[in-house]
Amino acid sequence: MRIATWNVNSITARLPRLLAWLESTGTDVLCIQETKCSAEQFPHDELRELGYEAAINCNGRWNGVALLSKVGLEDVVCGLPGGPDYDGVQEPRAIAVTCGPARVWSVYVPNGREVGHAHYAYKLNWFEALKTAVAQDAAGSRPFAVLGDYNVAPTDEDVWDPAVFDGATHVTPAERAALSALREAGLTDVVPRPLKYDRPYTYWDYRQLAFPRNNGMRIDLVYGNEPFAKAVSDAFVDREERKGKGASDHAPVVVDLDV
């Protein structure tokens, strides 16, 4: 069973590449972030032609998450239970679905913007709500994982130059402590290092030739419980999908399970 996560940075803009990638990789379940579309604009028909059902949580031009599956969609939870609002709105940043033998979440953690900003506090509160929401599934006997754009680099090795990020979001002790707290709920990072590349980044800015220079960050993560981690037979960052015209600024992260 192949499960992947990909921040597509607009499913409308990325649709031709998304469809081609799904067809070529044989992915069974894909967690998507930043759909940046309304529910009415979501491309259900095109995905259905490839055999995918879709569960979505998207309501406009920003944010938005989805789960695509060839192996069924059951027990859908749309949104983060107990999650905080931002400016009085529950943003579409989480969705959970049981897909065949595994239960998975697709999450788009708030960016945080800058330290001290209200969005930064919102980000930390969002992490706390996520830990509470996943605790029961994480402790269960069924393979379970939270996949997505966490907007946190777990260690200094997960950014191309720690000095560049000094004092910025994505690397602060509080954000990394939030990741640690999530692991304490019974989840581990199932994508090993090193992979094919010494530093398997998942995100590169569009500006300043960041991708050709490999000035990236590893912020797209797969955190699984023990049954999920034990079933992992392979994991990789599909760096090739970041290349070329019309690419997202994130690459897919792919995990193969023996279930």
Question: What confidence score (pLDDT) does residue 195 get?
Answer: 53
Distance CA 229, CA 233 (A): 9
Q: Please state, as a whole number, how many other Cβ atoms lie within 10 Å of the Cβ of residue 139.
A: 13
Number of domains in the chain: 1
Q: What are the tokens at 51?
A: 């055999």
Strands 29-33 and 2-7: parallel
Q: Report residues of the chain scoring pLDDT below 50.
A: none
Question: What confidence score (pLDDT) does residue 198 get?
Answer: 60
> Is the CB of residue 49 less than 8 Å from the CB of residue 79?
no
Residue numbers of the domain that contains 69? 2-257
Question: What confidence score (pLDDT) does residue 199 get?
Answer: 65
Strands 253-257 and 232-237: antiparallel
pLDDT for 218-247, tens place per residue? 999 999 999 999 999 999 999 999 999 999
- Cis-peptide into 162, omega within 30 deg: no
> Is the CB of residue 83 less than 8 Å from the CB of residue 90?
yes
Rounded to the nearest integer, the mean pLDDT of the chain is 95
Question: What confidence score (pLDDT) does residue 200 get?
Answer: 83
CATH number at residue 247: 3.60.10.10
